[in-house]
Amino acid sequence: MPCLGNIQTERGALRKGFLQGACINRPPGVGYVRMRFRLLFLLAAGMAGQAAASVWNDLDPAQRQSVKGGKQVLIEEAVEGQPWPRARVYRVVNASPEQVAAVFFDYAEAKTYIPDVLSSRVNQLVSPCVAEVEYEVDVPILSDEVYVARNELRQLPDETYEISWTLLRALQTKAAKGNLHIEPFGEKSIIRYTNLVTPGSGMAGLLRHLAMGRMEQTVEAIGRKAESQRKSHPAALASQVEKLREALASSGNRECGDN
């Protein structure tokens, strides 16, 4: 969910006939075999490197140490023309990626564990993995914010999940776009919460620090909720996981958010 007010591989490929053209009308010699082996080795190595890429690679050594130690890391990225930076929050969660995704995918429950969310409900189910969700959040100084976001669930390779959101309409906020990316980290998960919000208030400068802090609180709440469900409420978590699986299965393809 966009925390409003409360606050990218092109694979190389050997073109058809390239290798055949190197040995037309003669059997492949040692040089040809070596060349082919070398090309295939480089291709395989490149693909392996891509597969190994993860949100972990976003972090420098000090940040990795912090995350491994159970702390959250906030990275702010200035965006030209935006009063607030793009925020990225990283955290390790003691639950599987599927379990974390299932907890977050249960949008109506956001109000029960995310700070300052007064209400959350699904206004429209566009498809099994795409929903328009209405949130009401408490905003300091200003009146409470009410907004509708389009949330999209995708299952990516390697047991990775991503739920993205785009603001559709709001009382105060001009725009918001982000995602929650969840991937395996040993027997746990590592999550990256990304959010870029364009506030509508003239007090945006004063609220920036508060907004960043509340995004961190949101990530902490997501992690703690997934861990709590896994440890203390396994039946409820199993039900959430089943709903996640049903949505993905009903979509007809893994990246169902693109439907």
pLDDT mean over 129-140: 94
pLDDT over 70 at 52, yes or no: no
HSE-CB of 189 using CA atoms within 13 angstroms: 28
Q: Is residue 163 part of a domain?
A: yes
Domain at 205, CATH number: 3.30.530.20
* Residue 246 CB coordination number (10 Å): 11
pLDDT mean over 72-80: 96
Q: Is residue 30 part of a domain?
A: no
Q: Is residue 3 part of a domain?
A: no
> Phi/psi class of residue 17: alpha, beta or left (left: φ > 0; alpha: ψ in -120 to 50)?
left
Q: Is residue 212 part of a domain?
A: yes
Joined together, the tokens standing for residue 138 give: 């408490």
Over the stretch 114-128, which tens digit does the pLDDT of each residue have? 999 999 999 999 999
Q: Is residue 9 part of a domain?
A: no
The four Cα atoms 62, 76, 117, 217 give a dihedral, to 10 degrees, of 20
Residues in the chain, how many? 259
pLDDT mean over 77-99: 96
Under 8 Å between Cβ of 140 and 122: no
Q: What mean pLDDT value characterizes the chain?
A: 82
Instruction: Classify residue 151 by burial, with Cβ atoms within 10 Å: 0-12, 13-18, 19+.
Output: buried
pLDDT over 60 at 129, yes or no: yes
Q: Is residue 94 part of a domain?
A: yes
Q: Which residues contact 186 (CB under 8 A, 6 or more apart)?
A: none
Q: Which residues contact 41 (CB under 8 A, 6 or more apart)?
A: none
Q: Is residue 154 part of a domain?
A: yes
4 phi and psi, to 5 degrees?
A: -85, 130
Instruction: Classify residue 132 by burial, with Cβ atoms within 10 Å: 0-12, 13-18, 19+.
Output: middle
Q: How confident is the model at residue 167 (pLDDT cuts 50, 70, 90)?
A: very high
Place of tokens 């702010």: 76
| Domain that includes residue 130, residue range | 60-258
Place of tokens 């920036």: 208
pLDDT over 60 at 41, yes or no: no
Instruction: Classify residue 147 by burial, with Cβ atoms within 10 Å: 0-12, 13-18, 19+.
Output: buried
CA distance linking residue 55 with residue 75, whole number of Å: 12
Put simply, whether the predicted model's pTM sits higher than 0.85 gets the answer: no
What are the CA-CA distances from residue 109 to residues 1, 116, 184 (Å)? 12, 13, 24
Amino acid at 43: L
Counting the structural domains of the chain, the total is 1
Joined together, the tokens standing for residue 232 give: 């203390």
CA distance linking residue 170 with residue 192, whole number of Å: 25
pLDDT over 50 at 49, yes or no: no
Q: Is residue 236 part of a domain?
A: yes
From the list 58, 52, 246, 91, the residue with the least C-alpha distance to 153 is 246
> Phi/psi class of residue 65: alpha, beta or left (left: φ > 0; alpha: ψ in -120 to 50)?
alpha
